[in-house]
Structure 1
Amino acid sequence: MDSSQTYSYQRCSSPCLRTEPAGCQCDTLATRGRTSVDKFLRYDAARWTDLRNAFEQAVAEAGRIDLATSNAGVSEQYDYFSNKSDEWGKLLEPAFGVTDVNFRAVNSGGIVITSSATAHAPEHDLPVYGASKLATVELMRSLRSTFIMDDFTVNAVTPADTSKI
């Protein structure tokens, strides 16, 4: 599972976390009369400590995070019909790291969750991926009516592969 990502945050009236290509140079922009600085860091979205450290560093340097965009793009490779056992012959818990990454979120401001078109049109070779992406859409639907009371937004986008069109 390759879940290595980069992120940037802006120090301004509406900072955000978003994925960007590695090695980008920092740009300074004027936003609502304030200076905005993008800083890019690489992290592994499948590792909780990497995610926590990225958010802590962004808050420490920018003061707060108003918008986070979840866009890890972690897929799966798993044999769903094989039984794996430990040394005593007991069935092991399935390792679905894709669900761990696809449910990561922040607890304040706004969230944009990158789901997938497989949430609406499942693919037979990606059953857990499609199910976890549908779950992110349902999570967004469940949370939006609650979060609006605190002036907090949550949205989801569901991109698809357009390379064959």
Structure 2
Amino acid sequence: MATLSRTQPSDSLVAVVSGGASGIGAAAAAALIARGVRVAALDLDSGQVAAPAVGIACDVSDDASVRAAVDEVVARFGRIDIVVNNAGIAAQGDVSANDDDEWRRVLDVNVIGMVRLARAALPHLRKSPAAAIVNTCSSFALTGVPRRVLYSTSKGAVHAMTLAMAADHVREGIRVNAVAPGAVDTPWIQRMLARTPDPEAARDALNDRHPLGRTARPEEVGEAIAYLATPASSATTGTVLSVDGGIHTLRL
């Protein structure tokens, strides 16, 4: 069993962040880099990854692509200490809205994609003195929201998977946690609002659903991920940290 150390220097650690070119993934990469962690950002569009993170092309729905990306990270950096499972896609509609192929596609990326990356990185995490996995979950896993049944199902699976993985690997010194954001002001949310008849009114309504009065910024979720991923949280495992403006727990 590896020994976790709160004092493990962050500048010796290497993180892999999937979906790292934009949104929450890019914010998590930046927060980790600010703590001295070296970051490989995996993305379909790796050319959009901001330096000093290293962009590596990866399709999390393809096991060979994931394994090749992990091998490239190890070839470049010599180790992997942190996995941030962030790549994901959205879906809208009630239970009648999405056909079988769409269900398979979303679950393949949002759930099995995380399995593929964690599985490929696991032999390297077992060698780390400060190993951590952080999965991007969602407040939709915890709260019923209209027209999000497929997406909510995928994130409910991520919630359960996080707890089960934490139990499996805690004695190996690998911590597994998740963040559960509410709505986050990412490019996807901006595109969704732009498609509504009145984008400003839609944004106001979205903000009003959050007790804090606004959606989260990607940087706020990125900071939460970086905390859970680094030795500052070395006593924390099996936790799903809400970063949702109080939408799950508060009723005003």
Structure 1 residue aligned with 2:152: 130
Cα displacement (A) at 1:72? 1.1
- Cα pair 2:95 2:149 within 8 Å, conserved: no
Residue identity in the other structure for 1:45 = V
- Map Cα deviations across residues 9-48 of structure 1 (whole Å, 9 max, x no partner): xxx532101224424223xxxxxxxxxxx31124333333
Following the alignment from structure 2 to structure 1, what is the Cα–Cα distance between the partners of residues 68 and 81? 17
Structure 1 position 58, deviation (Å): 0.5
1:102 aligns with 2:110: yes
Q: Deviations over 1:44-83 (max 9, x none)?
A: 3333333222111101221221111011131126785389
Q: Give the one of 68, 85, 89 matched to 2:83.
A: 68
Runs (4+) off by over 6 Å: none
Please say if 1:112 is aligned against 2:134: yes
- TM-score scaled by structure 2? 0.47
Deviation string, structure 1 residues 103-141 (Cα, Å, up to 9, x no partner): 223132221100111011132212121011011111111
SS of 1:129's partner is helix
Query: Which position in structure 2 is the counterpart of 1:15?
Result: 14
Which runs of no fewer than 5 residues in structure 2 stay unpaired?
1-10, 23-47, 126-131, 186-206, 208-213, 215-252
Higher-RCO chain (CA-CA 8 Å, sequence separation at least 6): 2
Distance across 2 between alignment mates of 1:78 and 1:24? 33
Change (3 A) 1:66 1:116: same
How far has the Cα of 1:101 moved from its partner?
A: 1.6
Output the aligned Cα RMSD.
2.8
Q: How far, CA to CA, are the matches of 1:82 and 1:17 in structure 2?
A: 34
**Higher relative strand content:** 1
Could you tell me which of 56, 66, 74 is aligned with 2:71? 56
Q: Tell me the amino acid that sits aligned with residue 110 of structure 2.
A: N
If the length of structure 1 is used for normalisation, what is the TM-score? Answer: 0.69
Count of aligned pairs between the two proteins: 137
Give the unaligned 5+ runs of structure 1: 1-11, 27-37, 85-91
- Taking the aligned partners of 1:122 and 1:133, their CA distance within structure 2 comes to 12
**Greater CA drift, 128-137 or 50-59:** 50-59
Partner of 1:160: 182
- Quick check: which one's helix share is greater? 2
Shift of the 13–75 alpha-carbon distance from structure 1 to 2, 3 Å rule, reads same
